[in-house]
Amino acid sequence: GYEAQVRPRSGLALRSGVTVLNAPGTIDSDYRGEIRVILINHGESPYHVKPGDRIAQMVLASVAQLEWEEVSNLSLSQRGESGFGSTGMN
């Protein structure tokens, strides 16, 4: 019923341009291996990670367990099939 989410540290991104590539990264509750973080450097200078550096943060979150029901079609909605940007800016 839980997952861990690996997220960027805002200060590291602001100061160095280094952030977590696949944010948030999900760690499933049954995973038992080493936790690793995929970083990307959008900054101008090389960034070297040293032991003890705080490069990411982890949030524990509950996950809803769903039971899917297959249907032949869905009811209409106001949004319909409109995709990206269709809900406005506010």
pLDDT tens digits for range 47-83: 999 999 999 999 999 999 899 999 999 898 888 888 7
Alpha-carbon span 33 to 83, nearest angstrom: 38
> The whole model's pTM is what?
0.70
Instruction: Region of 52 please: left (phi>0), alpha (psi -120 to 50) or beta.
Output: left
Q: Which two tokens stand for residue 70?
A: 């297959």
CA Rg, the chain, in Å?
A: 19
Alpha-carbon span 5 to 58, nearest angstrom: 5
CATH of 2-62, one of 3.30.110.70, 1.20.1290.10, 2.70.40.10, 1.20.210.10: 2.70.40.10
- Secondary structure class of 12 (helix, strand, coil): helix
